[in-house]
Amino acid sequence: MSNVPTALSSLHWRLLTLSDLDVMEALHRLSMEGMGPQMVKPESRSFLVSLLQGRGSVIGAWAGSDLVAYGVLQHDLLPEDDPRHHLGLSAQQPLAKLAGAAVAPTWRRQGLQRALVAKRVACAGNDRVLFATAAPENTASWHNLLACGFTVRALEYRYGGFARYLLVRDAASLLLHNEAVSTGVGCELDGAALSEQQALFLQGWHGVLPGSTVGSLRLLPPPVGVR
């Protein structure tokens, strides 16, 4: 890819295995330093083990022998984590979750998380609906998901009562991205106006693009005939 910055083009990518558990856990802890659970969910070592043992795939970016970033694609979900019913999807709809990403502090702001989202989208295939959660305050995280075709569908209180956007990538989200880019219409709400955002999500609106001020979100009504 010609638009990959030079430092990123020197990285190599491979799926993590159980033998990478310690480095994965170390990067998870390092990436969260200074961030509370309102921003990012701290994961247990046993959850990371379960991912590496087959509940998901974890793609890692390596600089030599150093793991500098990883992203999780989880397909084996707990019932309480499964949004199919909430989204009006059948239980047979293939689905997977982008269930966490970490970038080493010295490698940030170069597009690595966005590359990790794009790689997991490609890896999931076309028939799978994808979803992720992101704290409204974690703008880097949800901006990257919006840039890769996800839209914000709901505001939920998860992981001990912390606000999280539910972001989904499906036919409706891709349709609305095209509409937002071609028409420039929509309604912009401030990041502090979460209850107003929530009222629109409940009417089927999607958060499609970052707004013009820090933390704000541009929303569009649902496409006709599709929620």
Ligand X SMILES: CC(C)(COP(=O)(O)OP(=O)(O)OC[C@H]1O[C@@H](n2cnc3c(N)ncnc32)[C@H](O)[C@@H]1OP(=O)(O)O)[C@@H](O)C(=O)NCCC(=O)NCCS
Residues found near ligand X in the complex (CB under 6 A): 31-32, 35, 40, 100-103, 108-114, 134, 138-141, 143-144
Nearer Cβ to ligand X, position 4 or 199? 4
Cβ 203 to ligand X, closest distance in Å?
27
The DSSP call for residue 81 is G
Per DSSP, the three-state class of 60 is: strand
Distances (CA, A) of 96 to 14, 140, 178: 19, 21, 23
Cβ 37 to ligand X, closest distance in Å?
11
Q: Can you tell me the distance from the alpha carbon of 136 to that of 204, in angstroms, rounded to the nearest whole number?
A: 18
Nearer Cβ to ligand X, position 101 or 189? 101
Cβ 32 to ligand X, closest distance in Å?
6
Cβ 113 to ligand X, closest distance in Å?
3
Distances (CA, A) of 201 to 87, 104, 217: 11, 33, 12
Cβ pair 106, 80 in contact under 8 A: no
Closest CA to 215 of 41, 42, 39, 71: 39
Nearer Cβ to ligand X, position 119 or 143? 143
Nearer Cβ to ligand X, position 38 or 110? 110
Nearer Cβ to ligand X, position 18 or 35? 35
Cβ 204 to ligand X, closest distance in Å?
26
Structure tokens at 71: 């992203």
